[in-house]
Amino acid sequence: MNLVLNTQLSVCLLAIVASVFTGCDKALPVADSSSAKPAVEASGKAITVAIDDSPYVTVIGPGPDAQTQAQEALITAESGDIIEFAEGTFEITSTLSLDGFSNITIRGAGMDKTILDFTGQQKGSGGEGLIVKSDKFTIEDLTIQNTPGDSIKVTDSQGVTFRRIRTWWSNGPDEKNGAYGIYPVMCSDVLIEHCVAECASDAGIYVGQTKRVIIRHNRAERNVAGIEIENTIGADAYENEATNNTAGILIFSLPGLQQKNGSHTRVFNNQLYDNNHVNFAHEGAMVATVPAGTGLMIMANDYVEVFGNNIHGNQTANCAIVSFFAAERKFDDPLYDPYPEAIHIHDNRFSKGGENPEGLFARIFADSKSLPVPDIVTDGVVNQEKMVEGELPDELATSIVNNGEATFVNLGLAAMFEGGSPQISNDISAFLGKREPLPPVTIPGVK
């Protein structure tokens, strides 16, 4: 059905059009078909609407033809088009894909009103729910659930927005769930806001090998990692809530990736609490090494500023700053830097953590019979080649200041990795240097 409305039609007629996709197959009169864009071929439930130079809006209603209509709309989309899923549940049995077009919006009627359900997705028909390669791409106001693989994967794209999206698996936390919920990788200028991510077997919200990211006002619950920022340059994560994950927020740099060490990340004004869920990651995955009870972990990342956060009740450690060596894995990447440098932890609120640690920390503190694990933990492993008179230069040193009554420990793991025992110390004096605040991340068009 083709439908083009010109400016002579009243606003009231738009309301009539909105009601058509809910089940009416009768076409409204076409004002001027000469400029109409072909609509999705369907049984009267996909409607394309345009007003003069406004974007075309293809509206898809629930039903047996919805999947075909949706994929055809994604294939035929042109710059500026909007693909809208109406209110209802859509049963999708294979991956939906968008590739090569720019400035496309996919939207629903609301996070709790439009549900794309991949429970019946066929084996061999793709693991992702939605896979996208598209600049200036926006997805908003819908839920994606029960994908065999990742919920939404966006690759090699610039200017990506996820807004009011929920990704989850209705069977609860399970290693058979997809690895990632919201998953932009090798992208730039990414905004993730007001989203909910649950039950991913790796990370609910993951950003990898990306430049300029803002992650704000989201909730991550019952994932292995609530939010993971990996090998990314320039990220702001603020006013998020992460609870009942294995780990609340991970700021990682890992070897063997195209974009090397991540840097310049700010983590501020977040609520990271009670992240004690058993780790249900796939065996062999990097996050499978993360101990349950981790609030915030910074691994091998540089120039990270953490401030204004409320971090409590994480039973391995509220905040950990570690080298890649703490993962107890080998690597073979000559361009990789395994040391965290220029870390700034200040003006946070910590409480009630470290009472039941797991993993490496549990082994160390079980031997020392000294619990709880302090709020802020560093492994104390530094790059000896960068030392000047026995210390890191000021521009690379870690600063831990103004965190109220937070407790601190330097595990001194360098000695352990060389075959000795950890050199545990609670002396924070070497970590009281001043650091300048990092600049905010800016994305064109985002306030």
CB within 8 Å of 436: residues ≥ 6 apart: none
What is the residue-wise DSSP string for 331-377? ---TT---S-EEEEEES-EEES--SS--HHHHHHHHHHT--SPPSEE
* pLDDT at site 416: 81
pTM greater than 0.85 (yes/no)? yes
Q: What angle do CA 325, 420, 414 make, to 5 degrees?
A: 35
* pLDDT at site 211: 98
Could you tell me if 430 and 199 are in contact, meaning their C-beta atoms sit under 8 angstroms apart?
no
Per residue of the chain (447 residues), what is the pLDDT tens digit? 333 323 232 333 333 333 333 333 322 222 233 333 444 433 345 665 555 567 799 999 999 999 999 999 999 999 999 999 999 999 999 999 999 889 999 999 999 999 999 999 976 566 899 999 999 999 999 999 999 999 999 999 999 999 999 999 999 999 999 999 999 999 999 999 999 999 999 999 999 999 999 999 999 999 999 999 999 999 999 999 999 999 999 999 999 999 999 999 999 999 999 999 999 999 999 999 999 999 999 999 999 999 999 999 999 999 999 999 999 889 999 999 999 999 999 999 999 999 999 998 888 887 666 789 999 999 999 999 999 988 899 999 999 999 999 999 999 998 887 777 889 999 999 999 999 999 999 999 999
